[in-house]
A and B are shown apart, each in its own frame.
Chain A
Amino acid sequence: MTIPIVMNSGEEGSAETPTVQNSKLESRRRRGIKGEKESPFVPVNASTTAMPSYKLNYFDARGLAEVSRSMFILSDTPFEDNRIPKDQWPALKEKTPFGTLPVLEIDGKPLPQSLAIARYLAKQFGFYGNTPFESAWVDALADQMKDFLAEMRPYFAVAMGMVEGDKEKMKNEVALPAIKKHFSLLEKVAKENGANGHFVGSSLTYVDLLVSDFIYSVDSMIPGFINEYPAVAAVRTKVVNTPKLKEWIEKRPKTAT
């Protein structure tokens, strides 16, 4: 079975475990920056403009698309949740902009790359923070999560039986160090944001959704790992208890990733 979440891996960041110090990452960033220009992109006002048609193309999995599906659900925006069967993918691949999924079609115009899609929808629907600097922090955390995914890839491949290997060894040598490195950072960020159930600011952003869904996947392979990171766990709890999302999680197709 293909593991969609290990496609489109990004890379950035140090290979060593950073020491988590008190580096004054306080809630100062919530106060905003004087002289900072407002974001140029105002969310589409659905009452004055015709809503675009949205079609989200992905595999039958949560993977890199779930964050975007969640935003449609949370904003009550209709969208076509197009889940492509694996055997149809080879024929479709070359019709996509980059040979990858997900691809979002907005009034028929394609947009590839999961985080570009998520960010676009987050701006449209108000899940992108309240100042440009907050938005930048949401992006920084999302990129950090992409690095995490890239580092976890060899473990996922073995854990899901796609590649031969010693699952326990991979867990100890690959997964646990990656989790410790990245989730220590997330814990610090969540705490310094006031342990309010969000990573940035005081309302839901797309990175809250992204992390929550990754936790769901990793927890199925390494149960209870999140207990060491209570502030992060609190973000996930808040996300999954948001009424519309709670309903979606109960009724959505059940997939391993």
Chain B
Amino acid sequence: MPLYKLSYFEERGLGEVSRQLFHLSGTPFWDNRIPFDHWPRIKEYTPFGQVPILCVDGEELPQSFAIARYLANQFGFAGKSAFESAWVDALADQHKDYLNEIKPFLMVANGFAEGDKEKMMNEMAKPSIRKYFTILEKQAKDNGSNGYFVGNSITWIDLVVSDHMGVIETLVPNAFDGFPLVEAVRQKITSEPKLKEWIEKRPET
């Protein structure tokens, strides 16, 4: 088995999906958490000046979704056919587009930028959440309301969405009203024994 090291900040963010893939598959890895104040000094030594980075037997790989997809393929969480795998990718890219839309709100809500949080929540965040979660709800339904977004087993998009919901619900009240099937995916994911265990013991961020 290769030696894995995942480097990211001391938060869930873009690294959490990959951490969860290691835990779900029972694969040992070095969960390298970089304190924010160390980052400026380390940055220039990374391939793209960004984290997360996955190191596999000393070989580095950047970009959070490239990492997640690679690990998902290695451990069996990328769908059971090429078409399923492509749909997982499509949802993940839609997730990224959505994150791009609400980024200004998240920056203000988390104190990284100045702005009217309430106004941005109502004018930017809520409509974007509604638009994206409508897509997710439909996808969960079209997939047979079985607790997964694609196919009949966990894929990495289930993990991405579930974790993100944990972020949004602290910032936007009742964000997921009207999306019961998406909630059902989150429930199923977070009650998966290995994940449940990890979620309980991981650092609070």
A34 at the interface (CB under 8 A from B): yes
B28 at the interface (CB under 8 A from A): no
Q: Is the CB of B44 within 8 A of A19?
A: yes
Q: Is the CB of A11 within 8 A of B61?
A: no
Write out the residue numbers on chain B whose beta carbons fall within 8 Å of the beta carbon of A113.
89-90, 93-94
Number of residues from A at the complex interface, CB < 8 A: 52
* Chain B residues at the A interface, C-beta cutoff of 8 Å: 1-2, 14, 43-50, 56-67, 69-70, 73-74, 78, 81-83, 85-87, 89-90, 92-94, 96-97, 99-100, 103, 135
Q: Is the CB of A12 within 8 A of B93?
A: no
Q: How many A-B residue pairs have CB under 8 A?
A: 140
Write out the residue numbers on chain B whose beta carbons fall within 8 Å of the beta carbon of A150.
100
Taking A8-B93, A10-B100 as contacts, is the C-beta distance between A33 and B57 under 8 angstroms?
Answer: yes
Write out the residue numbers on chain B whose beta carbons fall within 8 Å of the beta carbon of A11.
96-97, 99-100, 103
A-B contact pairs, 24 of them (CB 8 A): A9-B97, A10-B96, A11-B100, A19-B49, A28-B59, A29-B59, A35-B2, A36-B74, A39-B73, A41-B81, A98-B135, A114-B93, A115-B89, A116-B87, A116-B93, A120-B86, A123-B82, A133-B61, A137-B66, A139-B65, A139-B66, A139-B70, A140-B63, A143-B63
Query: What is the minimal beta-carbon distance from B49 to any residue of chain A, in angstroms?
Result: 2
What does the 1/0 interface line of A142-178 toward B look like (CB < 8 Å)?
0110100010000000000000000000000000000
A47 at the interface (CB under 8 A from B): no
Q: Is the CB of A12 within 8 A of B74?
A: no
Q: Is the CB of A133 within 8 A of B56?
A: yes
A21 at the interface (CB under 8 A from B): yes
Write out the residue numbers on chain B whose beta carbons fall within 8 Å of the beta carbon of A34.
2, 57
Query: What is the minimal beta-carbon distance from B11 to any residue of chain A, in angstroms?
Result: 15
Query: What is the minimal beta-carbon distance from A80 to any residue of chain B, in angstroms?
Result: 18
Write out the residue numbers on chain A whose beta carbons fall within 8 Å of the beta carbon of B59.
28-29, 33, 133
Most central of A11, A12, A112, A146 by chain B CB within 10 Å: A12
C-alpha gap A110/B93 in the complex (Å): 16
Which residue in B50, B58, B92 is a CB contact (below 8 Å) of A13? B50
A119 at the interface (CB under 8 A from B): yes
Q: Is the CB of B94 within 8 A of A36?
A: no
Write out the residue numbers on chain A whose beta carbons fall within 8 Å of the beta carbon of B65.
12, 139, 143
Write out the residue numbers on chain A whose beta carbons fall within 8 Å of the beta carbon of B46.
18, 23
When C-beta atoms are compared, the residue in chain B nearest to A7 turns out to be B97
What does the 1/0 interface line of A101-141 toward B look like (CB < 8 Å)?
00000100101111111011001100000001101110110
Which residue in A112, A135, A136, A139 is a CB contact (below 8 Å) of B90? A112
Which residue in B2, B78, B97, B100 is a CB contact (below 8 Å) of A36? B2
C-alpha gap A146/B96 in the complex (Å): 10
Q: Is the CB of B82 within 8 A of A41?
A: yes
Write out the residue numbers on chain A whose beta carbons fall within 8 Å of the beta carbon of B87.
111, 116
